[in-house]
Amino acid sequence: MTALAASGGVMRDLKVPNIVGRGAVPVIAIPTTAGTGSEVTRVTVITDAATDEKMLCMGPGLMPAAAIVDFELTISLPPRATADTGIDALTHAIEAYVSRKANAFSDQQALGAMRLIAPNLRTAYHEPDNRAAREAMMAGATLAGMAFSNASVALVHGMSRPIGAFFHVPHGLSNAMLLPAVTRWSIPAARERYAECARTMGVAAAGLDDASACSRLIHELEALNGELSVPTLREFGVEQARYESVIGTMAEQAESSGSPGNNPRIPTRDEMAALYREVWI
């Protein structure tokens, strides 16, 4: 609202590649989930109902002036929302670390986020009143938001937004549906980085070779989806014929967001289409 008040026009005028330069009034952001990290980012996502597109908008005009981060506001969050937003935060951290725009500053935030999120997400899901787990998740989500705001997200997010727009799948849930398959596809281009993710998350020993560590990472992402009851797109109720009919458009929208271009392995539209088909199951 503050961006539109400053610029006029309509929201689709502000989507990337345009940069939102200023807002009309300062914003104080108070997150109520341990997930998006939006309280510390210059990014927002708005759905264009006319085109079924989740528009990526970026710029300093979308950066809150201050953030009040209080984990107690998440204690009443239901398990499904805890899982979906938590996996969103974990995806932010992983993608920021493997992004082509990663840097020494964002690396520390991304790794710190993984250290907090990975051992506490299951606990927060199964034990909603566990204050230590909730606090760790909230701190991790904020760090992950800082990480991707400085390094950008990548292919998972690029492909996730169109799924949410067309089929109303919650954002963190569509990230979770994509994360194992996209990670497996991307590993050959950044094996050392993905292996370090596995070690930082505590699923691979420090001395384990990169190939084995990457294998452990994929196993962990699949196991996490299983434990947190993440459905496939088919199980969620997405009708296959409708899904097939928009795969080309989803790949086009993903590419135009710019996020796939940050991925260590940059996909063609045909490769994104193949990944979309792989995750419907």
Tens of pLDDT along 75-131?
Answer: 999 999 999 999 999 999 999 999 999 999 999 999 999 999 999 999 999 999 999
Residue predicted with more confidence, 237 or 23: 237
Question: What confidence score (pLDDT) does residue 51 get?
Answer: 84
Kindly report the average pLDDT of the chain as a whole number: 95
SS3 category, 215: helix
Q: Cβ distance 98 to 182 under 8 Å?
A: no
Tell me if residue 194 falls in helix, strand or coil.
helix
Helices 240-257 and 269-280, axial angle in degrees (round to 10): 140
* CATH number for domain 77-280, candidates 3.40.50.150, 1.20.1090.10, 3.30.930.10, 2.60.120.1130: 1.20.1090.10
Predicted local confidence at residue 52, as pLDDT: 79
The beta-carbon contacts of 6-12 under 8 Å, at least 24 apart in sequence, are: 6/61, 11/46, 11/48, 11/55, 11/57, 12/48, 12/55
Residue 226 three-state SS: helix
Domain ranges in the chain with CATH number 1.20.1090.10? 77-280
pLDDT in tens, 218-253: 999 999 999 999 999 999 999 999 999 999 999 999
Residue given tokens 């998006």 in the structure block: 36
Q: Is residue 219 packed enough to be buried (19+ CB in 10 Å), middle (13-18) or exposed (0-12)?
A: middle
| Per-residue model confidence as pLDDT tens digits over 174-198 | 999 999 999 999 999 999 999 999 9
- The SS3 assignment for 266 reads coil
Structure tokens at 186: 């991307």
**Integer Cα distance of 30 and 49 in angstroms:** 26
Give, to the nearest 10 degrees, the angle between helix 269-280 and helix 155-167: 60
Residue 49 predicted with pLDDT over 90: no
- Whether the pLDDT of residue 166 is over 90: the answer is yes
